[in-house]
């Protein structure tokens, strides 16, 4: 899961510190972000609220009510279950299992060595190969991962950041071998390096050359893969690290602003790349704050793109997002309770208008999801989509005094944070000053303190606890698969044309030290069977390695 200006401030009208809940009235209620909740809401709470300006129609500016006019009446959200473990063959089997169970999009997790730019046979990869995701070291691995999958039909999301461009190119190369052109490919790479410095830690290069690689990816996809989402700007890991809902919106959009500014500085036209930006949010347990969070984020991003950047294409104004239920909310104690948590969180995402959704397995506090848990998580989405009635009308909570007031509060709090980040010089500078990191750490500490003190109830942990029942089935880690992956990488390096590989890697090095787009020589190097780790090593030599303060 995933300083500078003092203690955390959470939004409660004026970004005052969260009150000590033990010292306030027992009648006082607050959201996870510290927003005070009144007992009753009525029209007076929206006395200066202009529905035409603040709501609009679904599918129209400011997109508070959704990015499509018909939303789920036209088509349900994409049910995209996250999968990835062991070898490419094992993950391919899980993909086919999920597609057979009714999943409508693929979502791939990669192991830590792949995320950090190390091949499976590297010394630093030992013990981590295939453990938290699939190991992909080469074009041969990607062929096995995608074998038998209709890449011209399925959409694929890849949760990968530092090595996102490499995995994207491997995906494209396999598609081309299947006869599928780049313009036919649809999917998303996370490619959000800024949140790695803030919350998660799987960075390789310093921030500024990392931003160059991301912008090169924007330009490459605009020319070669125009229907691919080039970035999924992630609040998910910011929230997993302990942020509040308000901080999740603010820090995610601040990073989005930084990516837009970097692309503009590199000479890209706003409406050429902005429509392919997408976002990735978390869903936690406070149902109404989460719904308000999604609605506020859409409205705020539309305003930023229109007023700050002058976007003309309506698609540039749309905040399209994927949601994953909150991994950090799941408990190892009484794991069956997690089924209920995931259902509440998925409901919040759907009521908030997500475009795609991953529901966590109830056993993920213990290990990778078993097939039983993964299927139940998918069935949760299907029951919500087909049986609950929430898809029958667009934005069913619109007009609720409480929801509209809470949406306004979340937006106002996020704007306060964005103003501070602007004063610091933008997201990159704020990260370098550790402002975002400190705010998140303080929020995480405050939440943990409240749980420890019993001020926040976690069922089965600090209230309604019981002796551990019989052990839950845990997904097994297959060490033989890890050894097989290491052997496969070593065999590849021995039998390929190493002279051709070295020449291609030299072209990557030359591009890295110039202003040329890196993805074109990287693609040729990968085609020649250069490995992911070898490409990353070339960029390490050119860019250096990031060392946090």
Q: What does the pLDDT read at residue 17? A: 40
φ, ψ of residue 282 in degrees (nearest 5): -95, 160
Asked whether residue 56 is assigned to any structural domain, the reply reads no
CB 84 within 8 A of CB 108: yes
Please write the tens of the pLDDT for every residue from 251-261.
999 999 999 99
Please write the tens of the pLDDT for every residue from 1-42.
332 222 232 333 333 344 444 444 557 899 999 999 999 999
- Residue 470 confidence class, pLDDT cut points 50, 70, 90: low
Asked whether residue 336 is assigned to any structural domain, the reply reads yes
- Residue 471 confidence class, pLDDT cut points 50, 70, 90: low
Asked whether residue 231 is assigned to any structural domain, the reply reads yes
Cα within 13 Å of Cα(426), Cβ side: 12
Q: Domain containing 236 — which CATH number?
A: 3.20.20.240
Please write the tens of the pLDDT for every residue from 363-405.
999 887 888 998 999 999 999 999 999 999 999 999 999 999 9
Gyration radius from the chain CA atoms: 23
Looking at the DSSP bridge assignments, the partners of residue 231 are 277
Asked whether residue 261 is assigned to any structural domain, the reply reads yes
H or E, element range at 47: none
Asked whether residue 467 is assigned to any structural domain, the reply reads no
Helix (H, G, I), strand (E, B) or coil at 65: coil
Eight-state DSSP code of residue 307:
I
H or E, element range at 232: strand 231-234
Q: Identify the residue with better confidence: 417 or 478.
A: 417
Residue 341 has pLDDT above 90, yes or no: yes
Please measure the distance between the N-terminal and C-terminal CA atoms of the chain and give it in whole angstroms. 20
- Residue 407 CA to residue 401 CA, distance in Å, equals 10
Asked whether residue 185 is assigned to any structural domain, the reply reads yes
Q: Structurally, how many domains does the chain consist of?
A: 1
**Of 366, 292, 300, 286, which Cα lies nearest the Cα of 334?**
366
Per-residue burial over 148-181, b = 16 or more CB atoms within 10 Å of its CB, e = otherwise: ebebeebbbbbbbbbbbbbbbbbbbbbbeeeebe
Asked whether residue 177 is assigned to any structural domain, the reply reads yes
**Of 73, 123, 179, 84, which Cα lies nearest the Cα of 391?**
73
Q: 272 lies in which domain range? A: 79-394
- Residue 450 CA to residue 34 CA, distance in Å, equals 12
CB 321 within 8 A of CB 278: yes
Asked whether residue 215 is assigned to any structural domain, the reply reads yes
- Residue 500 confidence class, pLDDT cut points 50, 70, 90: very high
Q: Which pTM does this prediction carry? A: 0.87
């Amino acid at each position: 899961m995933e300083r500078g200006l003092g203690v955390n401030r959470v939004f409660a009208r004026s970004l005052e510190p969260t009150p000590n809940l033990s010292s306030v009235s027992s009648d006082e209620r607050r959201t996870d972000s510290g927003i005070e909740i009144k007992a009753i809401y009525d029209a007076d709470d929206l006395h200066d609220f202009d529905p035409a300006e603040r709501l609009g129609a679904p599918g129209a500016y400011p997109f508070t009510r959704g990015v499509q006019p018909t939303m789920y009446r036209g088509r349900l959200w994409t049910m995209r279950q996250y999968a990835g473990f062991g070898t490419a063959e094992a993950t391919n089997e899980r993909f086919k299992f999920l597609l057979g169970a009714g999943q409508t999009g693929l979502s791939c997790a990669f192991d830590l060595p792949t995320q950090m730019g190390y091949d499976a046979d590297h010394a630093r990869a030992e013990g981590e190969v295939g453990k938290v995701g699939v190991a992909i070291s080469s074009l041969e691995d990607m062929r096995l991962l995608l074998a038998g999958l209709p890449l011209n039909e399925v959409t694929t999301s890849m949760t990968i950041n530092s090595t996102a461009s490499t995995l994207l190119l491997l995906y494209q190369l396999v598609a081309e071998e299947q006869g599928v052109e780049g313009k036919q490919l649809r999917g998303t790479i996370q490619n959000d390096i800024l949140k790695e410095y803030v919350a998660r830690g799987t960075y390789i290069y310093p921030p500024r050359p990392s931003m160059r690689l991301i912008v090169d990816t924007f330009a490459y996809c605009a020319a070669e893969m125009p229907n691919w989402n080039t970035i999924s700007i992630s609040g998910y890991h910011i929230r997993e690290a302990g942020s509040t809902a308000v901080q999740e919106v603010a820090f995610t959009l601040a990073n989005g602003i930084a990516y837009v500014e970097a692309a503009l500085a590199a000479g890209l036209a706003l409406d050429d790349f902005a429509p392919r930006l997408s976002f990735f949010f978390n869903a936690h347990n406070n149902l109404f704050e989460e719904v308000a969070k999604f609605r506020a984020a859409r409205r705020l991003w539309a305003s930023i793109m229109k007023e700050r950047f002058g976007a003309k294409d309506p698609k540039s104004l749309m905040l399209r997002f994927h949601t994953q239920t909150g991994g950090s909310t799941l408990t190892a104690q009484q794991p069956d309770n997690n089924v209920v948590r995931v259902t509440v969180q998925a409901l919040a995402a759907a009521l908030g208008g997500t475009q795609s959704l991953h529901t966590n397995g109830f056993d993920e506090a213990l290990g990778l999801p078993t097939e039983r848990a993964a299927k139940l998580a998918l069935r949760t989405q299907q029951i919500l989509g087909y049986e609950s009635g929430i898809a029958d009308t667009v934005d069913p909570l619109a007009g609720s005094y409480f929801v509209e007031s809470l949406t306004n509060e979340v937006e106002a709090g996020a704007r306060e944070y964005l103003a501070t980040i602007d004063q610091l010089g933008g997201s990159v500078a704020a990260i370098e000053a550790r402002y975002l990191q400190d705010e998140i750490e303080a929020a995480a500490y405050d939440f943990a303190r409240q749980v420890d003190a019993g001020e926040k109830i976690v069922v089965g942990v600090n209230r309604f606890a019981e002796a551990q029942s019989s052990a839950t089935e845990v997904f097994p880690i297959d060490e033989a698969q890890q050894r097989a992956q290491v052997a496969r990488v070593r065999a590849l390096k021995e039998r390929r044309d190493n002279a051709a590989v070295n020449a291609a890697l030299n072209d990557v090095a030359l591009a890295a030290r110039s202003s040329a787009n890196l993805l074109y020589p990287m693609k040729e190097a990968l085609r020649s069977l250069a490995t992911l780790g070898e490409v990353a090593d070339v960029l390490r030599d050119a860019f250096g390695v990031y060392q946090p303060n």
